Amino acid sequence: MAGGATGIGRASLRAFRAQGDNVLLVDINRAEAEAACREPGAGRALALVGDLTDAALPKSAVTAALDAFGGLDTVFVNAGLLRAAPLADWTLADWQASLAVNLTAPFLFAQAAAPALRASPSPSLLFTSSTGALRGHAGMPAYHATKAGLVGLCRSLADELSPQGIRVNCLLPGWVDTPFNGPFWSHQPDRRMAERDLVGAIPLRRQGTPEELAATVLFLASPAAAYITGTSLVVDGGYTAV
């Protein structure tokens, strides 16, 4: 799992371990990643600290997982980078960092993991995209562009890898109440009003929880989803339906 020290990733880590799965967690946040792996769980958890802008990290992570656990069934690339600023304030470095974490890293993880996944009886690649792939918000051009690109990557990889038994899917969370969304809220002139308007636009009239998304992650990674591949599954309380 790439990205699981907080939010959806941490809830997914707990859920995988609760059902007995062993997990290698790759994250840049050493303190939180190690704390997450120390939590009790039926399955083992190991932390690998690394920066997803490092193109060598995915191969190292796959090797570490195979060395620790002897095989690989699911690769869940959940890490993301969200930056918000007026267009004129964006730098090329900002744009490239978003591209590296949100789009290049998932590609490199797929490339590194595919040979090992072929040996699994139920192999799955899962990427966290976003409903930001379907609609836009001012100030976040890189986030929306890369999350939309991730949907296209999923479809292409599904066409190539599914005949080999490897399912490839995208999770598209809507608004989930985690610190990850901090840059978006900081970019709003009036956060309280923006939050009120947002919740009013969600048919279920609330943001989601990390645990609700983790349940969907487990489903997509499980044999229960054996006939699902190339899909972008929206979990957003109806936000993009209206």
Report the catalytic residues.
143
Of 80, 36, 98, 105, nearest to 171 by C-alpha is 80
* CA distance linking residue 215 with residue 114, whole number of Å: 24
Task: Look up residue 2 and give its DSSP letter.
Answer: B
- Where would I find the H helices in the chain? 7-18, 30-38, 57-69, 92-99, 105-117, 141-161, 182-186, 191-201, 210-221
Mention every residue, 6+ apart, whose C-beta is less than 8 A from residue 99.
142, 146
Contact 118, 164 (CB under 8 A): yes
> Closest Cα to residue 49, out of 40, 41, 66, 37?
37
Axis-axis angle for helices 7-18, 30-38 (nearest 10): 20
DSSP conformation class of 138: T
Token pair belonging to 168? 């490839």
How far is C-alpha 144 from the geometric centre of its chain's CA atoms?
14
